[in-house]
Structure 1
Amino acid sequence: MFPPVAEAFELWGQRGRAYFEVVGESFYEKQIKALFKDTKLRADGGTELAIVVELRPDPLNRYDPHAVGVWGTTGQLGSLSRDEAKKYQPVLLQLVKAGYTPVVGARAYGSEYEDYDGRKKFRGGVWLDLAEPHMLFPLNAPPRDGAHQVLPLGAAIQVTGEDKHLDALIPHLRPEGEGWVHATLHPITEQTARSTKDLVEVRIDGHRVGQLTPKMSGDLLPAITHLAASGTTAATRAVVKGNRLKAEVVLYVQRAHELPASWLDARPAAVAVAAPPRAHVPVPPRPTGLRFVVPPEWPQPPAGWEPQTGWQTDPAWPAAPAGWQYWQLTWSQAE
């Protein structure tokens, strides 16, 4: 039913806070406890670990055909609740059928206590850093015109002037009112009556959708010009919100002074020359960009593994094994 080998896809929308509760942990206490095998458990307040987990849709589950299991390096850790699984399984199932393993950051909790007989007992739980189903993937592909480098995820920056570019934003609007996209940043000079201003123009799929204020432009321009010196375009994650009457764009990106040295040393992503493969993914029939990460149980690529035609290296993981982290350009096909 599913591809025999799937590449891990890090779900979008994570905020660094794991508050989405996993259910059924009492059936998997052994697996949760095994996560803490190298960690001393505290009785007072418990112990927490930051982990990465897989979300596995299970339509053949005998008890719940909408089931979604939560799996870690030690086995299954729990499931999504019945109500939540109904919302998430269609999206996750499409990704799995297309050959991707959905992974997400999580927080595991464990503590030991003594019962009334003086015996030690374990209590554990898992919470996910999981966005709403429609915010798990981008609506368009990464930049395809020349080399690009993605600025690390950071705090929100509001774009201005979107009202003048609704025609470019309408294709990216969703019924839910918001959606992730890849955007690019470009230095421009604005001429006024008395002076000039160096600003940042924001584009989606090559179309202008607005610009940043002078202050916000100043926070990003050093990074943009640093990349431009080597012929590289600065890219970022953004959210498009609104409807056909009014829409806005919000960037989620680190300012220049916040950038780590590892990002500054990363290689830009080259444009794939070959035509990208087609895949059925749960988005409108527009290009879709996916980022893959190494699952916990795969410290190295499997023997004989080779990237598919149309993939390009992901600059966000400079320390990864050569030829392992990739961006893939895929096109969705409406069912």
Structure 2
Amino acid sequence: MATYTLPGSNNFPNTEVVGESWREKQIAAAIGGKPRLDKEVEQTLPALLVPEPDNPYDPNAISVRVRGHVVGYLSKEDAARYRDPIHRIAASGHEATTTARIWAVVRKSYDNQGKARFFSSVRVALGEPHLLVPSNGRPPSAHSVLPWGGAVQVLGEEDHFDVLFNHVPKEGHGLAIVTLHKDVQRLKNGTEKPFIEVRIDGERIGQLSPTTSAHLLPVVEHLEAAGLHPAAWATVKGSSLAAQVTVQAAKATEVSDEWLHGSPSEFPALVAEAARYSVPPAYVEEETPDRNASSTSPSKGTTPGTRGSAAGGSGCLGLIALIPGILTVALVRRAVPKHRARKPSE
């Protein structure tokens, strides 16, 4: 399957993954093994968001997989929100890829007879659902998409609203794929100032200022010399009255040599937008967690949305209060979640 790098995947991981407390083995494998006692480990790794239409607990389930291991799920609420764009990407034969931050530590648990327990937290970088796929298709000609970068304002878009109107999403904020073209402005004194013209689906929608253009021109010229059309992500904001566009592209100083000299980064083709998509089955039945490690471990295939940062339950907390002449002993029992009944098939 081809990789579909989600826009903004290089941003700080901001979306919490759930169910990770029941996947100690998988998370440990993803980070290269359990950390030593009291040694905190934090890693930033590529992660796949894999829809699981065959998940027996939730057909909207979206698992988070790192190095081939299911390290958790999007929450039930997030899975419902992100279902359409993630399902569309999967139905197109691509893997939705983003960045995950995994934190883990092993510490002694004083409410579990001092046994060492594994604690973990997983987060992924995710933009809003309507900012994951573009409103238009990829350029028909050979092209290469610049890496996602800081926002660069497009000028003169008010003169091309007749074109932009068709790309303003119902949410008022969305993404589009634009192409960048070198042009030259000739001043009255004969001086020539190069700048970048911005087009969407082959139609002009504005240009970048000469100063801003200077940051991107080396990359544009490099791709054009290779016979490729430079393309970039762009955000479109507006209404039925006006629209503004910002290009999200890395500057020449921010592009790696690996990207410059590698294969063209073409935008993946997507199936047409639809109410439902045909997504291949992907559910992986997990091994039942060790009951000795946790008194609240769920059965196989944790229901997406289960929360928790460490496996384990709790017992009684003894509270002793001394009052002059009286010894009062009270036992306060903290709530202990009951085990979910195992299904006959488990």
TM-score by length of 2: 0.70
- Which residue of the partner structure matches residue 297 of structure 2? none
Looking at structure 2, the residues matched to 218 and 231 of structure 1 have their Cα atoms a distance apart, in angstroms, of: 20
* Distance in 1 (alpha carbons) for counterparts of 2:29 and 2:245: 43
**AA paired with 2:198?**
V
1:81 equivalent to 2:90? Answer no
Three-state SS of the structure 2 residue aligned to 1:141 is: coil
SS in 1 for 2:23: helix
How much does 1:60 deviate?
Answer: 4.3
Distance 1:68 1:235 in 2: 30
Q: Which amino acid aligns with 2:123?
A: W
Using the TM superposition, give the Cα deviation of residue 39 of structure 1 relative to its aligned residue in structure 2, in angstroms. 6.8
For residues 158 and 277 of structure 1, the distance between their equivalents in structure 2, rounded to whole angstroms, comes to 27
Partner of 1:200: 196
**CA–CA distance in structure 1, aligned partners of residues 83 and 226 of structure 2:** 43
Equivalent AA in structure 1 for residue 108 of structure 2: E
The Cα RMSD (Å) is 2.8
Q: How far did 1:164 drift? A: 0.3
Distance 1:251 1:229, change over 3 A: same
Work out the CA distance in 2 between the residues paired with 1:119 and 1:72: 28
8 Å contact kept, 2:138–2:269: no
Q: Is 1:249 the counterpart of 2:249 in the alignment? A: no
Picking from 62, 66, 70, the partner of 2:64 is 70
| Maintained 8 Å contact 2:238/2:244 | yes
Q: CA deviation at 1:103?
A: 2.8
Amino acid in the other structure paired with 2:218: P
Moved more, 156-165 or 57-66: 57-66
For the residues of structure 2 that align with 1:237 and 1:278, how far apart are their CA atoms?
Answer: 15
Mark the CA change 1:103 to 1:170 in structure 2 (over 3 Å): closer, same or farther. Answer: same
Whichever residue aligns with residue 205 of structure 1, its letter is D
Matched, 1:212 2:204: no
Residues 49, 109 of structure 1: 8 Å contact kept? yes
In structure 1, the gaps of 5 or more residues are 1-5, 284-335
Give, as a single letter, the amino acid of the residue that structure 2 aligns with 1:37: G
How far apart are 1:252 and its partner, in Å? 1.3
| Structure 1 match to 2:48 | 54
Tell me how far apart the structure 2 counterparts of residues 101 and 268 of structure 1 sit (CA, whole Å). 18
Structure 2 unaligned regions, length at least 5: 276-346
SS of corresponding position for 1:134: helix
Aligned CA distance change for structure 1 residues 28 and 230 (closer, same or farther; 3 Å): closer
Counterpart-to-counterpart distance in 2, 1:214 and 1:53:
38
Distance 1:133 1:153 in 2: 17
- The equivalent of 2:96 in structure 1 is 102
Task: After TM superposition, give the deviation of residue 236 of structure 1 in Å.
Answer: 1.6
Q: CA deviation at 1:7?
A: 4.2
1:20–1:128 CA contact under 8 A, matched in 2: yes
Moved more, 54-63 or 205-214: 54-63
| Aligned pair partner of 1:20 in 12, 15, 19 | 15
- The residue correspondences of 1:74-223 to structure 2 (distance < 5 A) are 75-116=69-110, 117-145=113-141, 147-194=142-189, 195-223=191-219
Deviation per residue, 1:97-121 (Å, 9 max, x gap): 3433333221111111112233221
User: How many matched pairs?
Assistant: 272
The structure that has the greater radius of gyration is 2
Deviations 1:140-187 (A, max 9, x none): 333223x43332222111111000001121221111122222211112
Distance in 1, matches of 2:232 and 2:272, equals: 25
Which amino acid counterpart does residue 228 of structure 1 have in structure 2? E
Change (3 A) 1:71 1:263: closer
Q: Sequence identity of aligned pairs in percent?
A: 36
> What aligned pairs does 1:207-286 form with structure 2 within 5 A after superposition?
207-268=203-264, 279-282=271-274
Q: Distance in 2 between matches of 1:277 and 1:193?
A: 44
Aligned letter for 2:57?
Y
**1:152 alignment partner, SS class:** coil
Letter matched to residue 138 of structure 2 = P
User: Which stretch of structure 1 is more off in the superposition, 58-67 or 162-171?
Assistant: 58-67
Residue type of the partner of 1:216?
T
Q: In structure 1, what is the Cα distance between the partners aligned to 2:60 and 2:227?
A: 48
Aligned-pair distance for 1:209?
0.6
